[in-house]
Chains A and B, each alone.
Chain A
């Protein structure tokens, strides 16, 4: 569709509404963008579930661990199937081993001794892509 058609539609909408409208073009998300977004949402949801479970125990004395365990096992298995063992280990580290009880964070060290700091799930996804670009 040519831009003049959008202009005609804008003019018509302005006349119908008796106010000013705009026609904008949005960048469509690529498959890669969508996968990244989905990964970040998934990590955030798992993190929030873990925090919620810990809070329930510390604040209310309610232990959800036994109840939640089956869900987390299922999620872990799905992550392992989809991302493979190497990426799955990184995801597990990020979810369960990165944070220390005193609030400090652990970091990774690569083969040559460089520290790798992963602050959020977006950075984690970048690292996973480096290891396995096909995810």
Chain B
């Protein structure tokens, strides 16, 4: 049985004021995503889930998730990032990610699921946007 996963909570500095361009440059966010994605995808794959939960956004009750159809491209990006780091630990992590990609590929069956569109989030008034 897969161990119960603990979803980490991301307290991103100045999130309320930041634009997407600011967030892309944030080393804190990048490092968090690169650390969390392989672990959460591995857990989601072993637990036969459709979404991997990367982190909770602060204490908002909103979660950043990756659908199963996007796991392999996400892992490949993480692998490229680790390779650029060029350290012994990063190469070892790359090997684990490579193995995880192979496992996902070998267990992928054709499904009727399509890649989901962006889910709407509720604003503070409770209305969908």
> Which positions in A face B, CB cutoff 8 Å?
1-3, 5-13, 15-26, 28
Contacts and interface: CB of A to CB of B under 8 A. Distances in A.
9 contacts: A2-B16, A8-B23, A11-B20, A16-B29, A20-B115, A23-B65, A23-B121, A24-B119, A25-B62
Contacts of A28: 61
Interface string B22-48: 011010011001000100000000000
B23 A9 contact: yes
Interface in B57-105: 57-58, 60-67, 70, 73-74, 77-78
Given A8-B23, A9-B15, A17-B74, A1 B65 contact: no
A21 B29 contact: no
B15 A10 contact: no
Contacts of A1: 15-16, 57-58, 60, 62
Given A5-B18, A23-B119, A25-B121, 19 more contacts: A3-B122, A5-B16, A6-B57, A6-B62, A8-B20, A9-B23, A12-B20, A12-B21, A13-B23, A16-B30, A17-B77, A19-B66, A19-B77, A20-B118, A21-B65, A23-B62, A23-B118, A26-B62, A26-B63
A25 B122 contact: yes
A22 B24 contact: no
Contacts of B67: 20, 22
Interface string B5-23: 0000000100110111101
B129 A3 contact: yes
Contacts, number: 111
B123 interface: yes
A23 B23 contact: no
Contacts of B24: 12, 15-16
> Which bucket holds chain B's interface residue count?
35 or more
B37 A2 contact: no
A26 B15 CA distance: 20
A104 B67 CA distance: 45
B107 interface: no
A20 B119 CA distance: 11
B111 interface: no
Contacts of B78: 17
